[in-house]
């Protein structure tokens, strides 16, 4: 008998029939003798609808009140799934995040989990019940409802699995695993049987939408055995996300290709080439709560240089205004913005022991006439910023160049 935490997203809970399908799947696991905790999201689109409704009522909703509003979506689905489970002949108990006491900090609408009181859940499991928990939400030390931000139900599922020391955390999505890249762009993309936490963390941070990045961080930190499966297919092993040490097989050089269209580049031209200038530019950007990704500073000439970095397109206007204020302060010549670029990345732990990966990537892009604007690297990934019109071509040729369509 195993203790399994299953997480179902908004698409999985998107209709009465889909909720019944989830209940039937859970019933099969219970029939096999497993203890099951189920974490659910709000029905697909419900959270966005509630946010829009809140903004119609108040032009700038208080984040604390907004958390109360948007957490109701998950409260509906835990009740509906519990009824469906009872219809399958199972005993079920539902909990909101506050009832479980998923304790978070007080950063409303983007809270982080601090602690979980798992004792009530263990008691219910020992009594033979299926426990259904509302994902995406918690409670701060003052008793106020909080929410975890986009994709937070994944994090709830992994955090519960860690607290309960579950045998496995299963994330059910609309795909049947993690692929070498998006099959909509490369039909030959191959589903991976396994991928390391390091690789999945890079893939998630670089644009892969399969798992929310915080959930992968949590799973890696607490060594939670994590598996991605399809909500709409029965059977199949999905993709197991595991630690590198557990796999004695030789790792492939590259495991996958990620990409992100949501990129924009900002360049501060004619920046004085002196110590501390990077901080003077990026400090105000950080103070404005804007995340910066790729950074490059050109070689200085005549006492000045150009300083470029990327942000998400949603932050472009805000970041531009910040830099216009910085420009006069540091004596820069001008600020230029470009929202026609994207980021393409290759990821693989095999890079550590295989030289020549970067040169192969750059040669492949050069042969297609694709100009590289910016480059960033880590031990297991190389990212390039290119013109967005070349995104799909770049992904296809890199996928072929590294033989990702072939089974390892």
The secondary structure of 107-130, three-state, reads CCCCCCEEEECCHHHHHHHHCCCE
Q: Is 388 annotated as a binding residue?
A: no
Helix, strand, coil tally for the chain in percent (to 5): 40, 25, 35
Tell me: is residue 263 an annotated ligand-binding position: no
Asked if residue 209 belongs to a known ligand binding site, the reply is yes
Say if residue 173 carries a ligand binding annotation: yes
9 is in an annotated binding site: yes
368 annotated as a binding-site residue: no
Domain coordinates of the chain in residue numbers?
Answer: 3-173
Q: Is 7 annotated as a binding residue?
A: yes
In residues, how long is the chain?
408
- Say whether 32 counts as a known binding-site residue: no
Contact 3, 34 (CB under 8 A): yes
The whole-angstrom separation of Cα 296 and Cα 256 is 25
| Signed CA dihedral, 14, 16, 17, 18: sign only | positive
CA distance 148 to 131: 20
In degrees rounded to 5, what are phi and psi of residue 400? -70, -40
**In a structure prediction context, what are the per-residue pLDDT tens digits for the chain, which is 408 residues long?**
899 999 999 889 989 999 999 999 999 999 999 999 999 999 988 888 888 888 888 878 888 888 888 888 899 999 999 999 999 999 999 999 999 999 999 988 889 999 999 999 999 999 999 999 999 999 999 999 999 987 889 999 999 999 999 999 999 988 889 999 999 999 999 999 999 988 998 888 776 777 878 888 889 889 999 999 998 888 789 999 987 644 544 556 899 999 999 899 999 999 998 899 999 999 999 999 899 989 998 876 778 899 999 999 999 999 999 999 999 889 999 999 999 999 999 999 888 888 899 999 999 999 999 999 999 998 899 999 999 999 999 999 999 999 998 865
Q: Which class is domain 3-173?
A: alpha beta
* Total-model pTM: 0.83
**279 annotated ligand binder:** no
Could you tell me which of 180, 202, 178, 212 has the C-alpha nearest to residue 378? 202
Lookup result for tokens 């929410």: 147
Round to whole Å and give the CA distance between 202 and 205.
5
Residue 101 in marked binding region: no
Instruction: Report the C-alpha gap between 307 and 267 in whole angstroms.
Output: 6
> Residue 58's CB: how many other CB atoms inside 10 A?
10
Smallest CA-to-CA distance from 131 within 105, 179, 96, 165 is with 96
């Amino acid at each position: 008998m195993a203790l399994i935490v299953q997480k179902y997203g908004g698409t999985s809970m998107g209709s009465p029939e889909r909720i019944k399908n989830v209940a039937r799947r859970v019933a099969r696991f219970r029939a096999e003798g497993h203890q099951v905790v189920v974490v659910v999201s709000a029905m697909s689109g419900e959270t966005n609808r509630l946010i829009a409704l809140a903004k119609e009522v108040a032009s700038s909703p208080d984040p604390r009140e907004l958390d109360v509003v948007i957490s109701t979506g998950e409260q509906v689905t835990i009740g509906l799934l519990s009824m469906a489970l009872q219809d399958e002949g199972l005993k079920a108990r539902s909990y909101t995040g506050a009832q479980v006491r998923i304790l978070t900090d007080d950063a409303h609408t983007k809270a982080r989990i601090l602690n979980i009181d798992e004792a009530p859940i263990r008691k219910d499991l020992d009594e033979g019940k299926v426990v259904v928990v509302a994902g995406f939400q918690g409670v701060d030390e003052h008793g106020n409802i909080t929410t975890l931000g986009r994709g937070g139900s994944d994090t709830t599922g992994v955090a519960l699995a860690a607290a309960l020391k579950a045998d496995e955390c299963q994330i059910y999505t609309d795909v049947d695993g993690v692929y070498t890249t998006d099959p909509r762009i490369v039909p030959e993309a191959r589903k991976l049987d396994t991928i390391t936490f390091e690789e999945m963390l890079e893939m998630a941070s670089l644009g892969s939408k399969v798992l929310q990045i915080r959930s992968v961080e949590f799973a890696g930190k607490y060594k939670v055995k994590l598996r991605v499966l399809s909500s709409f297919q029965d059977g199949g092993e999905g993709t197991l996300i595991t630690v590198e040490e557990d796999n004695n097989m030789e790792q492939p050089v590259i495991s996958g290709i990620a990409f992100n269209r949501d990129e924009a580049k900002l360049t501060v031209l004619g920046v004085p080439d002196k110590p501390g200038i990077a901080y003077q530019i990026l400090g105000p950007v950080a103070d404005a709560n804007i995340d910066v990704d790729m950074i490059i500073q050109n070689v200085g000439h005549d006492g000045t240089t150009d300083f470029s970095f990327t942000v998400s397109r949603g932050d472009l206007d805000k970041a531009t205004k910040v830099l216009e204020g910085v420009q006069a302060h540091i004596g820069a010549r001008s600020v230029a913005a470009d929202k026609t670029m994207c980021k393409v990345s290759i990821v693989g732990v095999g890079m550590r022991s295989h030289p020549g990966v970067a040169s192969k990537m750059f040669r492949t892009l050069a042969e297609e006439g694709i100009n590289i604007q910016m480059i960033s690297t880590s031990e297991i990934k190389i990212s390039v910023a290119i013109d967005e019109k070349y995104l799909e071509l770049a992904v296809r040729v890199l996928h072929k160049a590294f033989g990702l369509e072939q089974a390892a």
